[in-house]
Structure 1
Amino acid sequence: MGKWLLPESLADILPAEARRIEELRRLLLDLYRTYGYELVMPPLVEYLDSLLSASGGDMDLHTFKLVDQMSGRSLGIRADMTPQVTRIDAHLLNRAGTTRLCYCGSVLHTLPRGLWATREPLQIGAELYGHAGPEADIEVLQLALESVRRAGVADYRIDLSHLDVVRALLETDPAAAARADEIFNLLREKDVPGLAALGPDLAPATTQALQVLPTLYGDLDVLEKARAVLPALPRISQALDMLAALAKALPGVDIGIDLADVRSFNYHTGVVFAVYCGGWPNAVVRGGRYDDVGRVFGRARPATGFSLDLRELAGLLAPATASSAVRAPWGLEPDLAQAVRALRAAGQIVVQILPGHEHDQQEFVCDRELVLRNGAWRVEPLASAEPAARPSPSTAI
């Protein structure tokens, strides 16, 4: 094997893609700040029991583990930043009212989470703590969709679900509750024959409802169909009402309903959602409500939020175009150095050409050049610039 090879599902990020990802990071963090979300930066590695305790065990198989040479305790490389942010809200900030936090950083997965997925996502997200009402869910949904729109993705759809639909069925059937993990796995696979095979052990009404859940997928009409075919349990009715209210708060958005979406059932507690974009097989954004997860850190709080992978999001956009730049000669003359500093202070990209590299190709398209005219450095159009690059007018420095 060549020393340049990387492990499977890991990749370097090259200049054009790195620039696009960094621009997205700045764009989205600035967006979240306008909504009142404060940036936090948790560490890459934590004690394993802290990382996994707030995830309901769902992240155990996805977390790289190692031993701390200082304490002898087991450490984990974070596979998700949400439990860390929950710890910060519950234990460090300890605020009485609502708290809005956002974050961005690399996470590491033992296995890729989907087709074409990387094992090192650059996760960015926002979490809202302290409010149990639907207003918090609506704000988080709106912010998640605005994230996709601001990035420049026009073709997207959001799927909504509510875990109380399934939990209500399990509450009424002790035999089903005893096999909850198996049932949730079958629902995630939409395995109707597997659900039917549970029939002899469960109440007939439970078996019938579980078999119909995978078919309750589609547009908003699914909600009315669900009311007709599912048991008339108060918790189910409240969940369907909640989904209808959320859909009403998102006018003009392509909304789907998937009542068999029970991912992270040990973690999420209510509404869950996923945003899908054309051209990508995996959900680009995932989120939902996870009330009381902070209990393991000493403080139970209502909580809802979302996260996405900036690398996936950047991959949905058109290839990054080369940036226009000013070509300048190399030199240490004070007037040349001052001219270059002034251009860079104004936000211009200035590439000083090193001796012997006048024709090297770079990421930047030099469509202007800094030239000395009549004792003053001036920016002029570069005759050999790419035709698509629009030159700036001549400017004296």
Structure 2
Amino acid sequence: MQSWQLPEHIADILPSTARQLESAKEQLLALFRVHGYELVHPPLMEYSNSLLTHIDAGLALKTIRLVDQISGRQLGIRADITPQVARIDAHLLSANNGINRLCYAGSVLHARPDGFLNTREPLQVGAELYGLAGIEADIELIDLMLKSLQIGEIGDLLLSLGHVGVFRALAGAAELDEKQSAQLLSLMQDKDAAAVHAQVSVWKLDGMWAKAFALLPTLYGGREVLDEAREKLPDLFAVGAALDDLQAVCEAFPRQNVHIDLSELRVDNYHTGLLYAAYGSKCHDAVARGGRYDGLGEYFGRARPATGFSFDLRTFTGRLPRSERLPAIAVAQQDAAQAAEIIAQLRAEGQCVVVDYGIESNASRDINARLVAQDGKWTIVEQA
């Protein structure tokens, strides 16, 4: 094996793709900025106990750990930026008791890829809103998420909605313990109503709760699912509140193609309420995911209502508009010192100026003009 080979699911980003990604990132951050979201840059690594690996088992498995040679304590390389932003809101921005709108764009590192075709180094871009518990906050973030995904050609967008509150209300009413809830959550992911029914039968649950749990994996489809859920699920306040949230989102996006799935519960995540994701007709998996995660900041001393979304910008590779190299203006090496002032001015204006060292085999590409001295002044001469 060559010593310069990269690990599996890790890859270099070459100039043409790097230009596309950086251009898209600039557009996204500009979009976030005009919607009031302030950019933060959390560190790539922290002490592992700050990365909340004890809260989210799935995140713990993704987190790469190592020993800090300075302190001797265990460090973690971030696998998700959202918990870091929750820490910033709860601790560093604790003077603000109102709304904090924060955004970010940076690399994360996974111990294992999420899938066979996934990178272990996603470029995570996202936005989070802290301090507002109402569904209005979720609607704002969903709107921003859908606008963000216009950067690439991913086809028609499908907004997928779920809500953890429905399952939790039923689990609480049926008095399931933590182990039973986790087991049932896992079965829900397979949409196997028969398996769910068999499991609750083993536990000898009351027939009403057994029927409700078996029904959940079948409650997916269009907006009509909400009416069916209201009709067939037990009349619990928390269930009604969750369905009201979903109804409010549907009404906020009347022309958006919507899919509702009441068994989409993300067993490996820290979300507490509404869940949302976006799918493109030209993509095999969700291109963005988000949801409500109230109270995550409690670990850092301040529990706050929170909602947000994120996505891996690298999944858009090949779907972003081309970002061409800047055409270059060449200046001969022997003229560079004398032309330094005009060169600096041109570069300040955003033009690309390169020094031509006269080595034919190593000549710069995309040169469309030259900077030459004519009649005592520097002139840009177009090349044929």
1:307-363 CA-partner distances (Å, limit 9, x unpaired): 111111334325x3533403313224355333433322221223333311377474x
Q: How many percent of aligned residue pairs carry the same amino acid?
A: 46
C-alpha contact 1:324 1:367 (8 A) present in aligned 2: no
- Residue 71 of structure 1 is matched in structure 2 by 71
Shift of 1:373: 4.6
Q: Which amino acid aligns with 1:122?
A: L
C-alpha contact 1:115 1:282 (8 A) present in aligned 2: no
1:119 aligns with 2:123: no
CA gap of 1:359–1:73, structure 2 versus 1, over 3 A, is: closer
Name the SS for the 2:57 alignment partner. Answer: coil
Query: Hey, what's the Cα distance between the residues in 2 that align with 1:115 and 1:213?
Result: 30
- Residue 292 of structure 1 is matched in structure 2 by 295
Query: Hey, what's the Cα distance between the residues in 1 that align with 2:31 and 2:343?
Result: 32
Shift of 1:157: 1.6
Number of residue equivalences:
380
Match of 1:223 among 226, 230, 247: 226
Shift of 1:372: 4.7
Pairwise mapping of residues 12-51 of structure 1 onto structure 2 (< 5 A)? 12-51=12-51
Structure 1 unaligned residues grouped into runs of 5+ = 384-397
- Residue 326 of structure 1 is matched in structure 2 by 328
- Residue 242 of structure 1 is matched in structure 2 by 245
C-alpha contact 1:163 1:265 (8 A) present in aligned 2: no
- Residue 87 of structure 1 is matched in structure 2 by 87
Larger RCO (CA within 8 A; separation ≥ 6): 2
Query: Hey, what's the Cα distance between the residues in 2 that align with 1:366 and 1:30?
Result: 31
Q: Which amino acid aligns with 1:213?
A: L
Could you tell me the TM-score, scaled by structure 2's length? 0.91
Q: Which amino acid aligns with 1:271?
A: L
1:141-162 CA-partner distances (Å, limit 9, x unpaired): 1111111124565532210111
Shift of 1:107: 0.7
Task: Provide the aligned C-alpha RMSD in A.
Answer: 2.3
Query: Hey, what's the Cα distance between the residues in 2 that align with 1:265 and 1:117?
Result: 18
Pairwise mapping of residues 1-397 of structure 1 onto structure 2 (< 5 A)? 1-52=1-52, 55-94=55-94, 95-151=96-152, 153-175=154-176, 178-198=179-199, 199-201=201-203, 202-264=205-267, 267-318=270-321, 320-333=322-335, 334=337, 336-357=339-360, 360=363, 362=365, 365-383=366-384
Name the SS for the 2:92 alignment partner. Answer: helix
Could you tell me the TM-score, scaled by structure 1's length? 0.88
C-alpha contact 2:54 2:60 (8 A) present in aligned 1: no
Structure 2 unaligned residues grouped into runs of 5+ = none
Query: Hey, what's the Cα distance between the residues in 2 that align with 1:31 and 1:40?
Result: 15
